[in-house]
Every structure is written in structure tokens, then in C-alpha cells.
Amino acid sequence: MNPAEARQLPLALRWPPRQRFEHFRSAPGNAPALAAVQALALGTQAPWVLLSGPSGSGKTHLLVAACQAAQAAGRRAQYLDAARLRADAGALRALGGAELLALDDVQALAGHAEAEHALFDLYNRLRAEGSSLLLASALPLSALAPGLPDLRSRLGACMQAALSALDESARRALVQEWAAARGIDLEPAVLDWLFARAARDLRSLHELFERIDRAALAGRRRITIPFLRALLAAHDGAAAS
């Protein structure tokens, strides 16, 4: 199998279990974007969607959730990070074989002529084949500014769906929800300490919570500030070595 073929393999049984629609926590105002992505995951006639939003707003979560929902409905689905294909226009142009293609980080292709032409060709071919395309970008189309006018026109034909990130109080409530589901009591002071030192996007928070939970179970420890301090120090030390 050559590298281009390997990049085209869907995640299949390796979809992250919590990146599903039912686990998506939406900020106020995100309901139209969520509904559009859900419709596209399940329907070949639904409008194609270009999601945009800052880090932590849930773009990747929704792309993976759409793939999982499409697959559960009997559609072949594929998720890819466009940034990894920026230097390989041939591989980007050759993508296919899925009824739903979810392409993340498309802002990485803007300003790269070969990659823009490849995305333009891919867009046209997927449209001709009757496939569905779901795109995500850190920037809205107005700021994305691809150099290829025809690509700008194609992206403009997609439904533009902006996502907002959860505010801190909502993220804190979500971490408390994760803890309660595991029978863990997180004191407010522990959350204060954690949020002052940890990355606050939901993916990083969930990965950190899982690490904390595993360590607490293994050591049969309560989750306290000294416990967290030791855990994060050990992790930082291992990362630096």
C-alpha cells in the first residue's frame, strides 16, 4: 500500500467513542450549525457545509461525529486533516471512495496554489459523484481568502456555519459532569487549580481528565491539588525527557 492509499483509509472501527453528536456540548447559537452537520451526515441531498470557529469550538468533534453517524446509517465515511495533505496535491486530488468526506483544517490550504487547485478538483469530482463534503476551517470564508477565484466560489456555495466556543463556566460544568459520571467529587478549589494550569479546549480537557481518572484509580487516590500537582509535574518531566 502506498502512502497516498494509506491516507485515504477511513477510521472505521477506530472512531473516538466520545466524539459523537450526543457528546457534543454546544455554546448558545450553535444549534443551526449542529443541525446542518447532522443533516449532511445522514442525507445525500443536504447542503454541503463549511464550519468555521476558533480552537475549542468543536469543529473536529462535529466532523468525526458526522462520520460516525454516516457510518451507522450505512454510508462510507472518511475524516482527514487537510494540513497533512498540503504538500501532496496529488493525494488530495485523488481522495475518494467515501459517501461523506470530512476535511478538517482547510485554512492550511489557502495560499498554496497547487493545494487550492487540488481542492477545487476534488470538490467538483465529489459533486459529480453524488458524495457529500463537510469542511472545517479556523477562519470564516471572508478571512480564508483562497487565491483561486473558482475555489472561493465553490466554498461560497457551501452553507457557512460558524461555531462559538463554550465559555469557562460551561467548560467547568462539563468537567464536573464527566466527574459525576465516574462517581468523582471534584471540589471547586480543585477545578480552580486545574483551569489555571491546563489547556482549556475540550479535547485537551477530556484527555487530561481521562489521565487524572486513570491515575487516581490506579493509586486509589482522591483527586486533590497535591495529587494533580504531582501528576502534571510527572507528565511534564516525561514530555521533556
- pLDDT digit string (tens) for the chain, length 241 residues: 333 443 443 444 467 777 889 888 877 889 999 999 999 999 878 999 999 998 888 899 999 999 999 999 999 999 999 999 898 999 999 887 899 999 999 999 999 999 999 999 999 999 999 999 999 999 999 898 788 899 999 999 999 999 988 888 888 888 888 888 888 888 999 999 988 887 767 778 888 888 998 998 888 888 999 999 998 888 665 554 4
Q: What are phi and psi of 49, to 5 degrees?
A: -130, 135
Distances (CA, A) of 73 to 36, 43, 68, 180: 17, 10, 9, 31
Using CA atoms, how far apart are residues 164 and 171, in angstroms rounded to an integer? 13
Model pLDDT, residue 9:
37
- The radius of gyration of the chain's CA atoms, rounded to the nearest angstrom, is 20
Model pLDDT, residue 75:
94
Model pLDDT, residue 185:
85
Residue 237: count other Cβ atoms within 10 Å of its Cβ.
9
Using CA atoms, how far apart are residues 195 and 26, in angstroms rounded to an integer? 19
- Assess contact for 137 and 50: CB atoms under 8 A: yes
Model pLDDT, residue 238:
57
Q: Which pTM was predicted?
A: 0.78
Model pLDDT, residue 208:
87
Distances (CA, A) of 140 to 150, 153, 176, 222: 17, 14, 32, 44
- Assess contact for 221 and 215: CB atoms under 8 A: yes
| Domains annotated on the chain, with CATH | 3-162 (3.40.50.300), 168-240 (1.10.8)
Task: Indicate the residue type of 54.
Answer: P
Strand partners for 134: 49, 102
Task: Indicate the residue type of 67.
Answer: C
If you write DSSP's letter for every residue of 226-240 in order, what string do you get?
HHHHHHHHHHHHHHH
Model pLDDT, residue 182:
86
The pairing of beta strand 100-104 with beta strand 77-81: parallel
The kind and range of the H/E element at 88 are none
- Assess contact for 33 and 51: CB atoms under 8 A: yes
Model pLDDT, residue 236:
67
Distances (CA, A) of 28 to 21, 32, 61, 195: 16, 10, 17, 22
Model pLDDT, residue 27:
79
Model pLDDT, residue 132:
96
